Chain A
Amino acid sequence: MNQTSFNNLLEVKDLSVHYGAICALHGISFELKPGEIVTLIGANGAGKSTTLKTISGLVKSSSGKIKFQDQDLNGIPAHKIAGLGISHVPEGRKPFSNLTVYENLRLGAYNTNNKAEIDAAMTRVFESFPRLKERLAQSAGTLSGGEQQMLAMGRGLMARPKLLMLDEPSMGLSPILVSEIFAIIKEINEQGTSILLVEQNANMALSIAQRAYVLETGSIVLSGNAQELREDPKVKSAYLGE
Chain B
Amino acid sequence: MTYFLQQLINGLQLGFVYALIALGYTMVYGIVRLINFAHGDVFMIGAYFGFYLLGRFKLPFPLAMVGAMLGCAILGITIEKLAYKPLRNAPRIAALITAMGMSLFLEYFTSLKFVFGPNYLAYPRPFPIVNFNLGGVTLSNIQIIVFGVAIFLMVVLQIFVAKTKTGMAMRAVSFDKQTAQLMGIDISRIISITFGIGSGLAGAGGVLYGIAYPQINPFMGVMPGLKAFVAAVLGGIGIIPGAMLGAIIMGVVEVMTAAFVSSTLRDAVAFGILIIVLLIKPTGILGKPAAEKV
Contacts and interface: CB of A to CB of B under 8 A. Distances in A.
Contacts of A78: 181-182
Interface stretch (B147-155, B167-175, B225-233, B248-256): B167-175
B165 A82 contact: no
A88 B168 contact: no
Contact of B185 (A92, A110, A141, A148): A110
A52 B174 CA distance: 23
Contact of B168 (A58, A79, A80, A103): A103
A92 B294 contact: yes
Given A106-B165, A110-B165, A141 B184 contact: no
Nearest to B182: A88
B246 to A, nearest CB: 19
Interface in A148-187: 148, 155, 159, 172
A225 interface: no
Contacts of A239: none
A127 B183 CA distance: 21
A110 B187 CA distance: 13
A167 to B, nearest CB: 11
Contact of B184 (A83, A103, A113, A172): A83
Interface string A60-95: 000000000000000001111011000110101010
A94 B184 contact: no
Contacts of A107: 165, 168-169, 172, 180, 183, 185
Interface string A97-113: 11100010011101101
Contacts of B175: 96-99
B29 to A, nearest CB: 15
A235 B181 CA distance: 35
A77 B184 CA distance: 9
A80 B181 CA distance: 9
A47 interface: no
A219 interface: no
Nearest 5 interchain pairs by C-beta: A82-B184, A78-B181, A94-B179, A110-B184, A111-B184
Interface of A: 56-58, 77-80, 82-83, 87-88, 90, 92, 94, 96-99, 103, 106-108, 110-111, 113, 141-142, 148, 155, 159, 172
Interface of B: 165, 168-169, 171-172, 174-176, 178-187, 292-294
Given A56-B182, A90-B182, 15 more contacts: A58-B181, A79-B181, A79-B184, A79-B186, A82-B182, A94-B176, A96-B172, A99-B168, A103-B171, A106-B165, A106-B168, A108-B183, A110-B165, A110-B169, A172-B294
